[in-house]
Amino acid sequence: MGRRAVRKIDPQLDLSRHLTAIEAIPIPLELATLFERDQPLEIEVGSGKGLFLAQASETYADHNFLGCEIARKYARYAAAQLARRARPNAMVVHGDAQRLFTEVLPGGCAAAVHVYFPDPWWKKRHLRRRIMNDRFVAQIERVLQPSGTLHFWTDVYDYFQATLAVLKASTRLLGPLPVDEKPAGHDLDYRTHFERRMRLGSQDVWRCEFRRQPVHDDRAANTNVLAQS
Ligand SMILES: C[S@@+](CC[C@H](N)C(=O)[O-])C[C@H]1O[C@@H](n2cnc3c(N)ncnc32)[C@H](O)[C@@H]1O
Q: For residue range 123-148, what is the model confidence (pLDDT) as tens digits?
A: 888 888 999 999 999 999 999 999 99
Q: How far is the CA of 166 from the centre of ligand 1 (A)?
A: 19
- Look at residues 198, 200, 193, 182 and name the one whose alpha carbon lies nearest to residue 50: 193
DSSP 190: S
Is the per-residue pLDDT at 83 higher than 90?
Answer: yes
- Cβ of 67 closer than 6 Å to ligand 1, yes or no, is no
| Residue numbers of the domain that contains 108 | 19-228
Q: For position 127, what pLDDT does the model report? A: 83
Q: Per-residue DSSP letters for 61-90?
A: TTSEEEEEESSHHHHHHHHHHHHHTT-TTE
10 in a structural domain: no
Q: For position 31, what pLDDT does the model report? A: 86
- Cβ of 68 closer than 6 Å to ligand 1, yes or no, is yes
Q: For position 228, what pLDDT does the model report? A: 39
Encode 82-119: b = buried (16+ Cβ within 10 Å), e = exposed: bbeeebebbbbbbbebbebbbbbbbbbbbbbbbbbbbe
**Residue in 47, 102, 195 to alter for ligand 1 test, most ligand atoms within 8 A of Cβ:** 47
CA 150: distance to chain centroid? 9
**Residue in 42, 44, 45, 103 to alter for ligand 1 test, most ligand atoms within 8 A of Cβ:** 45
8 in a structural domain: no
* 217 is known as an active-site residue: no
221 in a structural domain: yes
5 in a structural domain: no
- Cβ of 131 closer than 6 Å to ligand 1, yes or no, is yes
Specify the number of domains making up the chain: 1
pLDDT band at 188 (very low <50, low <70, confident <90, very high): very high
- Cβ of 76 closer than 6 Å to ligand 1, yes or no, is no
Q: For position 225, what pLDDT does the model report? A: 44
Atom 24 of ligand 1, nearest CA residue: 46
Is the per-residue pLDDT at 187 higher than 70?
Answer: yes
The Cα–Cα gap between 15 and 206 comes to: 34
Q: What is the mean pLDDT of residues 171-185?
A: 97
Out of 119, 158, 189, 217, the active site residue is: 119
Q: For residue range 190-229, what is the model confidence (pLDDT) as tens digits?
A: 999 999 999 999 999 999 999 999 975 555 544 444 433 3
The Cα–Cα gap between 137 and 221 comes to: 13
Q: For residue range 88-134, what is the model confidence (pLDDT) as tens digits?
A: 999 999 999 999 999 999 999 999 999 999 999 988 888 889 999 99
Q: Per-residue DSSP letters for 5-53?
A: PPPPPPTT---TTTEEEGGGS-SS--GGGTSSS---EEEEES-TT-HHH
**Residue in 55, 69, 115 to alter for ligand 1 test, most ligand atoms within 8 A of Cβ:** 69
> Quick one: 121 exposed, middle or buried, by C-beta within 10 A (0-12, 13-18, 19+)?
middle
- Cβ of 143 closer than 6 Å to ligand 1, yes or no, is no
107 in a structural domain: yes
Atom of ligand 1 nearest to the CA of 44: 6
CATH number (domain holding residue 50): 3.40.50.150
Q: For position 123, what pLDDT does the model report? A: 85
Rg (CA), the chain: 17
The Cα–Cα gap between 42 and 189 comes to: 20
9 in a structural domain: no
139 in a structural domain: yes
Q: What is the mean pLDDT of residues 3-22?
A: 90
Q: For residue range 14-73, what is the model confidence (pLDDT) as tens digits?
A: 999 999 999 999 988 888 889 999 999 999 999 999 999 999 999 999 999 999 999 999
Atom of ligand 1 nearest to the CA of 115: 6
Atom of ligand 1 nearest to the CA of 71: 25
4 in a structural domain: no
